[in-house]
């Protein structure tokens, strides 16, 4: 029988105070996992803990910058003491800066690379020794369609997510012999509070131009929801995916498979 249960497992989901990280942590908890997460501000932490409690989830939160190697190491050590060794790591924390490349300060480019690529490396490095010792572990990197596609104003983000795709493959290659699976999830355009302004109706009742663009480019003809990512993350965190390694599962409603409609 296929086993999707995460009963007794410990999952660390970075940046899971809200949005898709919160939805994925909730899914892992519903499958039986004990949840730890981090964020960088007390305000977000307070709200997140209240939100988890409202869902009946006893999540353990840490104020920790995922780019701080010493801080991440200390967080993982505390998780091991209080919840147990990390069985599942979801590298979800990330940022995007939409700036034309020729106008983007190199410091901002480096910041995106640091958070979206270096932080997953730091977090994976922190949990790998225990996973190797126990010969079991699941690392799930939240990539993006920008792991495959380019688009104006997102040079840093696309570079980081393309690098994260290759880091995913390399972790799978280097640590697969320890029964550690490292896979990615590539969300499409997801309806969250952060993207709400792009979906607001115009004064004349028409769709926002970007909303129209995304719906037209998506065979599913809609934006994704955080709930659309819940099944994929449980699958990749569970024994059901034990022979899947180095793969990026794109949850995009079919955008990457679709060339688009012919102009009329």
Active site members: 157
Residue among 53, 45, 133, 152 nearest 85 (CA)? 133
Residue among 254, 89, 242, 243 nearest 186 (CA)? 254
The rounded distance, in Å, linking the Cα atoms of 103 and 117 is: 22
Which residues does residue 91 pair with via DSSP β-bridges, in sequence order? 141
The rounded distance, in Å, linking the Cα atoms of 98 and 155 is: 8
Q: Which residues contact 202 (CB under 8 A, 6 or more apart)?
A: 208
The rounded distance, in Å, linking the Cα atoms of 12 and 60 is: 9
Query: How many residues can be counted in the chain?
Result: 264
Q: Are the beta carbons of 127 and 181 closer than 8 angstroms?
A: no
**Location of structure tokens 């979800």:** 92
Tokens for 80? 């091991």
């Amino acid at each position: 029988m296929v086993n999707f249960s995460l009963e007794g497992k410990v999952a660390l989901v970075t940046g899971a105070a809200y949005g898709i990280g919160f939805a994925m942590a909730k899914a892992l908890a519903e499958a039986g996992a004990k949840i730890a997460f981090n964020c960088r501000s007390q305000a977000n932490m307070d709200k997140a803990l209240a939100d988890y409690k409202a869902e009946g989830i006893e999540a353990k939160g840490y104020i920790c910058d995922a780019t701080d190697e010493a801080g991440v190491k200390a967080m993982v050590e505390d998780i091991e003491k209080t919840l147990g060794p990390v069985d599942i790591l979801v590298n979800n924390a990330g940022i995007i800066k939409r700036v034309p490349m020729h106008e983007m300060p190199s410091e901002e480019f480096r910041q995106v690379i640091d958070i979206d690529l270096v932080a997953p490396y730091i977090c994976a490095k922190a949990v790998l020794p225990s996973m190797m010792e126990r010969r079991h572990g699941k690392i799930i990197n939240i990539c993006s369609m920008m792991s495959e596609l380019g688009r104006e104003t997102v040079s840093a983000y696309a570079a980081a997510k393309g690098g994260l795709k290759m880091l995913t493959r390399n972790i799978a290659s280097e640590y697969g012999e320890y029964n550690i699976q490292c896979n990615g999830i590539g969300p499409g355009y997801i309806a969250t509070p952060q993207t709400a302004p792009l979906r607001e109706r115009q004064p004349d009742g028409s769709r926002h131009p970007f909303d129209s663009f995304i719906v037209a480019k998506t065979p599913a003809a809609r934006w994704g929801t955080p709930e659309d990512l819940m099944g994929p993350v449980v699958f990749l965190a569970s024994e059901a995916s034990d022979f899947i390694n180095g793969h990026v599962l794109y949850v995009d409603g079919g955008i990457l498979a679709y060339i688009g409609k012919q102009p009329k």
